[in-house]
Amino acid sequence: MTFLVVVDGDAGGWRTDRDALTDAIRARWSEVEIDSIHRSKVRSLLWQFKTENGPGEAYLHEDGTCLYMDVWEEDAIWLAIVFRRLTPTDLDLVFCDEGYTFDVRLRAGMAEAELTDLVNTAG
């Protein structure tokens, strides 16, 4: 399933720190392949890794304000929290799945358990 975490509204020129995001991904998954070839607006930087649940990938929109995640829900929630930590607290973020079966606000300082609860009650 594909999940997204995206800035809701104007990002004011902000874009995520790709190196910090890469470091966080590498800290969680030991085997990470990085593809920095710009393939499309949606796939400007791609991380592929093996999770406990199988292969996964995350890719960054070229403007750096949206992270797409093809992973299990628990890994997507973790990645969404990491992305939130790299985002200025005044920016609004939304976490959702590709089909918009849920759409929740991702507040600064939110914990994984709190986001999981929101997703479970929204979906």
pLDDT at 85 over 90: yes
Strand extents, DSSP E, the chain = 2-7, 32-35, 45-51, 54-60, 66-70, 93-97, 103-105
- Owning domain of residue 113: 2-122
Over residues 30-69, the pLDDT tens digits come to 889 999 877 888 888 999 999 988 999 999 999 999 999 9
pLDDT score, position 43: 83
pLDDT score, position 40: 82
**With b meaning 16 or more CB within 10 Å and e meaning fewer, what string describes 74-108?**
ebbbbbbbbbbebbeeebebbbbbeeeeeebebee
Over residues 7-30, the pLDDT tens digits come to 998 888 999 999 999 999 999 998
Angle (nearest 5°) at CA 64 between 19 and 30: 35
Q: What is the domain count for the chain?
A: 1
